[in-house]
Structure 1
Amino acid sequence: LSDVSEICTDVAILEAGKLVASGNIGTLQQQIQSTRIITIEVLADAPQAEPVLRAAGLHDVQPVETNHLLPGRSRWQASFHGDDRALSDLLTALVHENLPVVHFSEQQTDIEDVFMQLTQGIVS
């Protein structure tokens, strides 16, 4: 399925001979992803960063443990509910709160995630 997303812009998903979904891959990805998972890395230790992230409206804020972080940095994952404009506003709010953001990304779903969410494993 990963090859499909590299060569196609639109797909049709069939299960047991029935059309389950069709359309633009990006649109289908957005439809199945009601909660967006955001990763943020900041130039601040955890005790400084966490209250600012929570005050900005992020939910389920969790530190990401990694051995690759430089001292004085922290990485976080959080749930976010909102459209692209709200996501942009979130980043702006973090910067306005003087939280030095060095990485800000959204976990992307792929075509396999879409397929698994929309089908139940029924074969004909």
Structure 2
Amino acid sequence: MIEVIHFTKRYGEFVAVDDLSFAIGKGEIFGFIGPNGAGKSTTIRFLATLLRPTSGEGRIAGHSVTADPMAVRRVIGFMPDDFGVYDGMKVWEFLDFFAVAYEIPRSARKKIIGEVLELLDLSHKRDDYVNGLSKGMKQRLCLAKTLVHDPPVLILDEPASGLDPRARLEMKALLNELRRMGKTILISSHILSELADFCTSIGIIERGKLLAAGSIQTIQQQIRSHRVIKVELADDATDRAAGMLRDDPSIRMVESFDHTVTAEFEGQDADMARILGRLVSSGIAVQSFAEEPLSLEEVFMMITKGIVS
């Protein structure tokens, strides 16, 4: 649904984005992450048809970003990281303004606005003035205006920026619901732990270059030479369990603490099942046995160098 093909953007001698390419499939939530100045907003503005490339191309739902920007605008909902409103405008008037811009007929606008307000849990704010809304409600309203024309693709630049913890959780629930509705979503954010909860894939950018893209699990496998097993025990058998793991040829290093044993593992899934079977058949009460994945924060820190353009 979204393709970025060798996108480059230069400002004089400064290269903001350098030969960027990635693709996002239908129904995915793609987390676009990177430090400040990495080129995220430049790429997003390009996809939203607000910025012409120095070179390269983009395609959204089959439409060229450069050759057919009006067709792209009809199939995307763009939520910028900051937006303004006119003084004295009510919530329903704000949405009606964008419905008119998207050429939605007058006869259909009232129904559509009502449905969008209900989806975003804003029906009770329908007649409130926009400039009197809280930050969280304004973010919801901005998301609402991206949906009035029912676009299949959403491009969201820092949608949870500045929100309190409850509002962030509510925003995450909304994005999950939009995915269930079949939307394809590109979202940039600095809140990495929350992206890990619901993104189907990620792209990590630094100094205008794409460092990694794909599912979090795939990227983990690319950057870590081994897997980590974590075993939690129900009784005091930590030393026995650690000893058995050390004797296994697929284990590199073992650490134990309290009722927990962690081990670096170089085998396959079948080896994990075999190790678990040995522990259980030896009478060791295993409370949990699982691979310990890297967090998205750990992945980000391992891939990026902390250099800002």
Partner of residue 49, structure 1: 241
Distance 1:86 1:48 in 2: 19
Deviation string for 1:58-96 (max 9, x for gaps)?
Answer: 33222213xxxxxxxx43222211232322222123223
SS of 1:39's partner is strand
Partner of residue 46, structure 2: none
Deviation string for 1:34-80 (max 9, x for gaps)?
Answer: 22222223334345434323223433222213xxxxxxxx4322221
Structure 1 vs Structure 2 CA RMSD: 2.2
Distance 2:199 2:260 in 1: 34
Q: Tell me if structure 1 keeps the 8 A contact 2:254–2:263.
A: yes
Q: Tell me if structure 2 keeps the 8 A contact 1:95–1:101.
A: yes
SS of 1:123's partner is coil
Distance 1:117 1:2 in 2: 15
Q: Tell me if structure 1 keeps the 8 A contact 2:241–2:261.
A: no
Q: 1:60 aligns with which of 215, 232, 253?
A: 253
Q: Please say if 1:90 is aligned against 2:270.
A: no
Structure 2: unaligned runs, 5 residues or longer: 1-191
Structure 2 CA distance for partners of 1:99 and 1:10, relative to 1, 3 Å = same
Q: 2:228 aligns with which of 34, 37, 42?
A: 37
Higher relative contact order (CA 8 A, sep 6+): 1
Q: 1:32 deviation in Å?
A: 1.9
Q: 1:6 deviation in Å?
A: 2.6
TM-score, structure 1 length as denominator? Answer: 0.74
Give matches, 1:1-124, under 5 Å.
1-42=192-233, 43-57=235-249, 58-65=251-258, 74-124=259-309
What percent of counterpart residues are identical? Answer: 38
Partner of residue 70, structure 1: none
Structure 2 CA distance for partners of 1:94 and 1:116, relative to 1, 3 Å = same
Distance 2:210 2:195 in 1: 17
Distance 2:277 2:288 in 1: 13
Amino acid across the alignment from 1:63: S
Q: 1:104 deviation in Å?
A: 1.3
Distance 2:204 2:283 in 1: 45
